[in-house]
Amino acid sequence: MEPSDFALLVTLDALLQEGSVTGAAQRVGLSTPAMSHALARIRERLGDPLLVRSGRGMVLTPRAEALKARVHTVVNEARQTLEPERPFAPGQLARTFVVHVTDYVLTVLGLVVDRLLREEAPGVSIRFVPNSPDDAVMLRDGGSDLAVGIYGDLPQEMRSRQLLTDRFVCVVRADHPSVGKRLPLEQFVSLSHIQVAPRGRPGGYLDDVLREKGLSRHVARAVPYFVTALQLAARTDYVLTISERIARQFAPALGLRLLEVPAELRPYALSLVWHPRFDGDASHRFLRDVFTRAAREAAGDQHSAPRTRLDASDPTSGQTRKRPRKRSA
């Protein structure tokens, strides 16, 4: 569209809204003769008189009536597009975001995120959905706004920011009949285990480490939720290897004991992930900042050299795999 075409649309909108040449001229700041000349040009271009005399006034033709709402919408949208962006005000934000998380993230960060949003942007709604192997596809296609997790094989265009780190500990019920103050590796592999597998896939980083030692474990129960795994450990003789932050939150209430894992497991990092089309979106930047501040407040202590994903294909481990897979603990 040429600049002259937009000027013609603005003139046409004024004529259709006012229903008179004089009123339209006053609306856009033209003289009446200049508006009459513009009307003649529009009539010629559209092949319709648009405004016809009726008594002392003028009325719109059927074509003009059909164009009235559409032209007004186009002109308004164009004006809004060309206007400078207004200063961002979180308190005026009314938007729903979709965020992929595990119940671990909600447990560690959820209350702080909620408080910050209530205080600063009460009009914001968040729909939390579980992580899945398709998180990147959902972010790319616009089905979601953010994801929090361990993503070692994301598409290159994705943006990410490290949020927090954590390490693994073992958890057993306080009165476990056979586990004492320490858990030797031989006893560890002889016990039945609970595995947290948020994406539902078997195996994991711990199994890789044990395999390198020529060992394996028996996973009796694999569950998608951290809290469920902790509850199950509190009522059975299973051993659970789980993230320390959530374990310490629930251990007192559930009667659980925390023990060191009898294998060298490196800490890991959780990242905030989004699609680059939201880089310049002020409201999206605000939400990313809320998650960053929440992580700083709730989990500010950082572990050194964290892994970026939970399998042996992590580049920080010094090992590679031809086909990296997302894994669990």
- pLDDT of residue 327 exceeding 60, the answer is no
SS3 label, residue 301:
coil
Residue where a domain terminates, one of 62, 82, 102:
82
Task: Verify that 172 and 161 share a domain, yes or no.
Answer: no
pTM for the predicted model, two decimal places: 0.71
User: Among 206, 187, 186, which Cα is nearest to 196's?
Assistant: 206
pLDDT number for residue 318: 36
Task: Verify that 126 and 249 share a domain, yes or no.
Answer: no
Total count of domains within the chain = 3
Task: Verify that 111 and 159 share a domain, yes or no.
Answer: yes
- pLDDT of residue 106 exceeding 70, the answer is yes
Domain span at residue 208? 168-259
Task: Verify that 15 and 61 share a domain, yes or no.
Answer: yes
Assess if residue 49 is contained within a domain: yes
Task: Verify that 202 and 60 share a domain, yes or no.
Answer: no
Task: Verify that 47 and 17 share a domain, yes or no.
Answer: yes
Task: Verify that 288 and 143 share a domain, yes or no.
Answer: yes
CATH number of the domain within which 302 lies: 3.40.190.10
Task: Verify that 66 and 181 share a domain, yes or no.
Answer: no
pLDDT number for residue 73: 87
Task: Verify that 275 and 143 share a domain, yes or no.
Answer: yes
Lowest average pLDDT, out of 5-14, 60-69, 143-152, goes to 5-14
- Angle (CA) 29-31-37 rounded to 5° is 115
Q: In what order do the strands lie in the sheet with 268-274?
A: 124-130, 95-101, 146-149, 268-274, 159-166
pLDDT number for residue 154: 82
**How would you classify the pairing of strands 95-101 and 146-149?**
parallel
pLDDT number for residue 84: 65
Place of tokens 């994705």: 158
- Ordered DSSP codes for 115-136: HHHHHH-TTEEEEEEE--TTHH
Task: Verify that 149 and 287 share a domain, yes or no.
Answer: yes
Which two tokens mark 62?
Answer: 């059927």
Assess if residue 50 is contained within a domain: yes
Task: Verify that 141 and 68 share a domain, yes or no.
Answer: no
- pLDDT of residue 320 exceeding 50, the answer is no
54, 102 contact by CB (below 8 A)? no
Angle between helix 3-18 and 32-46 (nearest 10): 100
pLDDT number for residue 329: 61
pLDDT number for residue 317: 37
Task: Verify that 294 and 146 share a domain, yes or no.
Answer: yes
